[in-house]
A and B are shown apart, each in its own frame.
Chain A
Amino acid sequence: DIQMTQSPSSLSASVGDRVTITCRASQGIRNDLVWYQQKPGKAPKRLIYAASSLQSGVPSRFSGSGSGTEFTLTISSLQPEDFATYYCLQHNSYPRTFGQGTKLETK
């Protein structure tokens, strides 16, 4: 199984901050990676697919990069609505595996 190691597990930041979350795959997954945002009590929402493609309707302050084993999600200027938990998902092989999540909290 491919292990997805997401870091940090939690992050305190302020509105306007630039934030970066990392996912590392235990083996190469090309660009078969998706990023999701989840708010409490809600279903996840796709932000980025194919590692760096922005989902339609998602603000351009979100961006993704990486290929192979290391991937990043960057929020260029945090907005109040961005405080949530973020997950990566690899879909290169079975079983599909998620990172353990990064909880983004207000400082």
Chain B
Amino acid sequence: EVQLVESGGGLVQPGGSLRLSCAASGFTFSNHWMSWVRQAPGKGLEWVANIKEDGSVKYYVDSVKGRFTISRDNAMNSVYLQVNSLRAEDTAVYYCARNGGQIDYWGQGTLVTVSS
């Protein structure tokens, strides 16, 4: 059974940083692109970033470029999202998801709240 478990969210002040983690199991992690998608409270889904199987290629939505960094550790079956210079508009549930395009499985999400 595919499982994706996010962690690392929390309350952070504007300008602060967090490192979100996603632990994957139930599939061959190193064979899949991985993605992060976020959802602001009461709003729709927004794709944030994805990363190729070997970590060599990464893509980001413009609004996070230069502030967020996606990475992965295939030995640990984990994908990460380093989020820096946080703004109020980054407040959202952050979902880890399998695949870079046809996203099929999602974690349950971790909430990031940016507030002073």
Contacts and interface: CB of A to CB of B under 8 A. Distances in A.
Interface string A65-79: 000000000000000
Given A43-B109, A95-B61, A95-B62, A34 B103 contact: yes
A84 to B, nearest CB: 13
A48 to B, nearest CB: 10
Given A87-B45, A100-B44, A101-B44, A94 B59 contact: yes
Interface string B88-109: 0000000100001111111111
Contacts of A96: 35, 47, 50, 101
Contact of A95 (B44, B59, B104): B59
Nearest to A100: B44
Contacts of A99: 44
Given A43-B106, A94-B59, A98-B46, 9 more contacts: A38-B45, A44-B45, A44-B106, A46-B105, A49-B102, A87-B45, A91-B101, A95-B47, A96-B101
Interface of B: 35, 44-47, 50, 59-62, 95, 100-109
17 contacts: A32-B101, A36-B45, A38-B45, A42-B108, A43-B107, A43-B109, A46-B104, A46-B105, A50-B102, A87-B44, A89-B47, A91-B101, A91-B102, A95-B47, A95-B60, A96-B47, A97-B47
